[in-house]
Copies of this chain bind each other. A is one copy, B any other.
Amino acid sequence: MVFKIGFLKLGCIGSALLLEFMLDERAERQDLDVRVVGAGAKLGVEQAEEVARRLLEFKPQLVVVTSPNATLPGPKKAREVVKAAGIPTLVVSDSPGKKASQELEQQGFGYIIVEADSMIGARREFLDPQEMVLFNLDVTRVLAITGALNLLTIEIDRVIDAIKKGLEVTLPRIVVDKEKAIKAASFSNPYAASKAIAAYETARRVADVTVEACFVVKEWERYTQLVSAGHEMMRQAARLADDARETEKSQDAVFRMPHYDDGSILGKRRLIEKPAKP
C-alpha cells in the first residue's frame, strides 16, 4: 500500500523549498505518493483556504503545512481546514511561529519551527527575483548542511512509518535550535560541527537585521543598506556551512542517509561504500 502525503505550501521558506523531494530523493520509493499544492508568494486567508481544500481532494494521510510565521491568519486557516478533515497535520515554520507553539500543541498539531530560517530582506529597492532566489539558496544551504533539514526528513519519515504500521502517531513538536540541528547532521569532525553551529547561529540572527530593515527603519537609504547587509550575512553563513561540509569531505567522512525503495533510511560514511541499514 502506498502512503499519501500532502504538502500545503504558503509563501516561501527555506525549510520547505525541497522538502517533498527530500522524502524521495531519487524518485524510487514505492511506498509513497506525494502531492504539493501552493499559492506562490501569497499567504492570504482566501488562497490558504482554497489551497487546503484542493489538497484534501487528494485524500492525504498526513499533511505538512509550510509557511513563514505560522501565527498569520492564512496559515492558520489552512491548518484548520485540514484538521477539520481529521488528518494529522504538521506545521513547518520559522522563528515567529514559536509564538504559536502552545496553541498548536493544544489544538493537536505537530510543529517543527526552524530557528535559522530567517526572513528575507523584502524591500523593493533591493529584492528582485534574482536576489530572492539567491537568498533562498543561501538559507536552504545553511539548513541542509547544519542538519535542520535532516531533522525534518527524519521526523516526517518517522510519522509516516508509524501511520503505515498502524502505530500510535506522535507528531513532532520541535523548535530546531543549533544543537538539535547539528545532532541530526552527524558530523564526524568536531570543527566541522563548530562551523555548522556558527553558520546556524549567524543565519538565525539575519532575521534581526531584516526585520529591523523591513518593519522598523523608514528611511529608504538606510533600510536598503540593511537588507543588503542581512543578505551578506546569510551568504557568509552559507559559505561557512559549505566549509563544514568540505571539512568532512577532506576526511572522507560525509554521512549519507539515502532512502531505500521501501522508505527505510540507510546510512554510510565513506564515499566508496555501500549504504547499509543502521
Query: Which residues of A pack against B, CB within 8 Å?
Result: 7, 9, 11-12, 17-18, 20-28, 33-43, 47, 50-51, 54, 57-58, 122-134, 136-137, 140-141, 144-145, 149-150, 153, 178-179, 189-191, 193-195, 197-199, 201-202, 205, 208-209, 220-222, 224-226, 228-233, 236-237, 239-240, 245, 247, 249-252, 254, 256-260, 266, 268, 270-275
Select the residue from A231, A232, A270, A275 with max chain B CB neighbours within 10 A.
A232
Docked-complex contact B126 and A256, CB < 8 angstroms? yes
With A36-B9, A202-B202: A127-B26 Cβ-Cβ less than 8 Å: yes
- Hey, which chain B residues are within 8 Å of A128, CB to CB? 25, 256-259
Docked-complex contact A127 and B25, CB < 8 angstroms? yes
Docked-complex contact B258 and A124, CB < 8 angstroms? yes
With A21-B132, A201-B229, A224-B272: A124-B26 Cβ-Cβ less than 8 Å: yes
Docked-complex contact B26 and A122, CB < 8 angstroms? yes
State the CA gap A222–B189 with chains docked (Å): 14
Docked-complex contact A190 and B232, CB < 8 angstroms? no
Docked-complex contact A250 and B189, CB < 8 angstroms? yes
Docked-complex contact B247 and A247, CB < 8 angstroms? no
With A149-B133, A198-B232: A191-B271 Cβ-Cβ less than 8 Å: yes
Docked-complex contact A35 and B38, CB < 8 angstroms? yes
Docked-complex contact B272 and A221, CB < 8 angstroms? yes
With A25-B41, A34-B42, A249-B247: A129-B150 Cβ-Cβ less than 8 Å: yes
With A26-B124, A190-B225: A41-B51 Cβ-Cβ less than 8 Å: no
Interchain residue pairs A-B with the least CB separation, the first 3: A34-B40, A197-B229, A198-B233
Docked-complex contact B47 and A220, CB < 8 angstroms? no
Docked-complex contact B39 and A34, CB < 8 angstroms? yes
Docked-complex contact A205 and B194, CB < 8 angstroms? no
Docked-complex contact B232 and A194, CB < 8 angstroms? yes
The smallest beta-carbon distance between A32 and chain B, in angstroms, is 8
- Hey, which chain B residues are within 8 Å of A252, CB to CB? 189-191
State the CA gap A133–B228 with chains docked (Å): 25
The smallest beta-carbon distance between A140 and chain B, in angstroms, is 6
Docked-complex contact A38 and B20, CB < 8 angstroms? yes
Docked-complex contact B198 and A229, CB < 8 angstroms? yes
- Hey, which chain B residues are within 8 Å of A179, CB to CB? 222
Closest-by-CB residue of B relative to A34 is B40
State the CA gap A42–B150 with chains docked (Å): 21
Docked-complex contact A20 and B33, CB < 8 angstroms? no
Docked-complex contact B274 and A125, CB < 8 angstroms? yes
Docked-complex contact B26 and A258, CB < 8 angstroms? no
The smallest beta-carbon distance between A15 and chain B, in angstroms, is 11
Docked-complex contact A201 and B195, CB < 8 angstroms? no
